[in-house]
Amino acid sequence: MLRDNNHESIHFFNKERITRRFLPASTFKVFNSLVALETAVAPDDQLVIKWDSVVQSRPELNKDMNMREAFKVSSLWYYQEIACRIGPARMQHYLDTVKYGNMKMEGRIDNFWINNSLQISADEQTGFLKKLYFAELPFSERSQRIVKTMMLQEQTPAYNLYYKTGTGMVGDKYIYWIVGFAERIEHVKEPKESMNKSDVRYYPYFFAQNFEMAVSDTSKDWFKVRIEILHDILKDYRVLPK
């Protein structure tokens, strides 16, 4: 699903699927980060949490790290500790206030976003991200600004691309998410008398994409494929240069 904010248009593939809810998996780190900052569980994005010495499958996770680093490498153990520090009462309060997906927290506080309890649709993801982009969520402007900078993955003279991936298991399938927003950058020449003194214009687009593949399917690197698909779609709609 792609929301073109500049023309107030929506483009999508598979209408039934974009309104269907799935577990958010690691895309929930966007929300989790906002709550951590807002409640001062994380004073800022430099909060260091010590590694618990439980060896992870990816070597880059096996160390102490701050929130910005944990977001970049998508560290589950870091964000599980963050959720525990936030606690169920405060987490539920923000889920309800934001109306994030189905707002359900079943099971432990450190796994409800990966145990298929909490669910959200692509349509809801893009609505949530649009509010984040314009700082319209019920969080401080500072919290939203910090999380937006954490999401920045690609920065070029022609565009900025912000996103978070997520991978979760449902039955015998993996669901592969990628959600975020892109800014197409254009330069215009303003007349001298114009009140707008900058010649740079940012045109935002909001997106949410997911697909499922059998856990046993290793025919492709699906982690990379989802990013390739996103780039292809954004190029087709001229959000990114071809």
Whether 6 has a pLDDT exceeding 90, the answer reads no
Whether 199 has a pLDDT exceeding 90, the answer reads no
Find out whether 184 and 158 touch, Cβ atoms under 8 Å.
yes
Query: Mean pLDDT over residues 158-166, rounded?
Result: 98
Query: Mean pLDDT over residues 201-218, rounded?
Result: 96
* Domains of the chain with bracketed CATH: 2-236 (3.40.710.10)
Structure tokens at 57: 């499958």
Query: Mean pLDDT over residues 190-216, rounded?
Result: 86
Whether 197 has a pLDDT exceeding 70, the answer reads no
Average pLDDT, the chain: 95
Find out whether 23 and 168 touch, Cβ atoms under 8 Å.
yes
Q: Is 39 exposed, middle or buried (0-12, 13-18, 19+ CB in 10 A)?
A: middle
Structure tokens at 127: 């609505």
Give per-residue pLDDT as tens, 61-76: 999 999 999 999 999 9
Q: Is 166 exposed, middle or buried (0-12, 13-18, 19+ CB in 10 A)?
A: buried
Tell which residue, 129, 38, 166, has the closest CA to residue 91: 38
The pLDDT confidence band at residue 188, using thresholds 50, 70 and 90, is confident
Q: Which residue has the tokens 């298991």?
A: 169
Write down the pLDDT at residue 34.
98
Of the candidate ranges 50-54, 116-120, 150-154, 199-203, the one whose mean pLDDT is the lowest: 199-203
Percentage of residues in the chain with pLDDT exceeding 70? 97
The pLDDT confidence band at residue 189, using thresholds 50, 70 and 90, is confident
CA dihedral 242, 196, 135, 119 (to 10 degrees): -20
Find out whether 150 and 27 touch, Cβ atoms under 8 Å.
no
Query: Mean pLDDT over residues 148-173, rounded?
Result: 97
* Residues belonging to the active site: 26
Write down the pLDDT at residue 166.
98
Write down the pLDDT at residue 75.
97
The Cα angle at residue 227 between residues 224 and 230, in degrees rounded to 5: 150
How far is CA 115 from its chain centroid?
Answer: 18
Whether 38 has a pLDDT exceeding 90, the answer reads yes
Write down the pLDDT at residue 198.
76
Give per-residue pLDDT as tens, 87-133: 999 999 999 999 999 999 999 999 999 999 999 999 999 999 999 99
